[in-house]
Structure 1
């Protein structure tokens, strides 16, 4: 586990795009998932790398055998454009070929440890309501749906999100 570097953007984008295409199959229009582009994602990631760090966004990667196999991003909770005292888990993706191997749990544990060490009292995250696999993952880690829902629309298809929360102990 280590901090992400600018040179990691291509591999992180590959993991993110493949993760979306795997995790959201059947939840989002296939045409949208098929159109996702690793080069475009990596270009955006490189262009915003420094600015995101300045905004308090932390990106970590998990490596096995010298290869990046997972990525997590977290930082201040965003309530619209306002940052709050809570932390937010923005994204966590594992190479689909590595699902079930503990990489996601390791990334989540390290993120929660760092959030607690930084003094955050809780971590919030948004997950697609229909993503049962991800919801089970977060629930096993002690997150609970807190009743907040947010509409999300992809190519005219409703894919609502639910918010999960977890209190941290210091």
Structure 2
């Protein structure tokens, strides 16, 4: 699905502040009622941006961060890399994150960004991702893109509260 209005490109150091704003606002918007409000209220754009800048360009290059922009404004961000099974990397790819500016959801930016992320991982047999079990809109988004829950579930902890996630998978072959 081509979107002539959205430019997908590699994230740069100059994008860190905007990506952090999108990520933090995305969490606060999408996870309201699913994650403890105290956790969401404690998220900080400046702290997230500082961590993001400090880590930018480190690593072995296996993690790819992309941004989606329209009219020169970054409106979305996605990160992919090797699937992590504990500390072990597998031959599969993982969508670590995808967030769209909450004011621009529903306009095709997420679809374009996800398609570009998948395209960059086609050398892998599958792409996996984790999504909050209660996040019905995100689950529908992934299902429309060909992902299916594969039965794996695992919680992460937010302010001492377990938040259940489910794993989705999509074949990248054939």
The residue number in structure 2 matching 1:151 is: 155
Q: Choose 16-25 or 76-85, whichever is displaced more.
A: 76-85
TM-superposition CA deviations, 1:24-83 (whole Å, max 9, x none) = 00001111111100000001101111124x251000000001000000000100111111
SS in 2 for 1:135: helix
The residue number in structure 1 matching 2:120 is: 114
1:16 to 23, 30, 34: 23
2:138 counterpart of 1:131: no
2:50 to 30, 43, 50: 43
2:68 counterpart of 1:58: no
Question: What's the offset of the Cα at 1:154?
Answer: 1.1
Query: How far apart in 2 are the matches of 1:157 and 1:132?
Result: 20
Query: How far apart in 2 are the matches of 1:159 and 1:19?
Result: 17
Which runs of 5 or more residues in structure 1 are unaligned? none
The residue number in structure 2 matching 1:89 is: 95
1:78 to 73, 84, 87: 84
SS in 2 for 1:32: helix
2:29 counterpart of 1:25: no
The residue number in structure 2 matching 1:68 is: 74
TM-score by length of 2: 0.93
Which runs of 5 or more residues in structure 2 are unaligned? 1-7
Question: What's the offset of the Cα at 1:114?
Answer: 1.1
Contact 1:130 1:159 in 2 (8 A): no
Structure 1: 4+ residue segments shifted above 3 A: none
TM-score by length of 1: 0.95
SS in 1 for 2:173: coil
Query: How far apart in 2 are the matches of 1:16 and 1:121?
Result: 28
TM-superposition CA deviations, 1:98-157 (whole Å, max 9, x none) = 0100000000001111111xx111100000111111001000111000000112221122
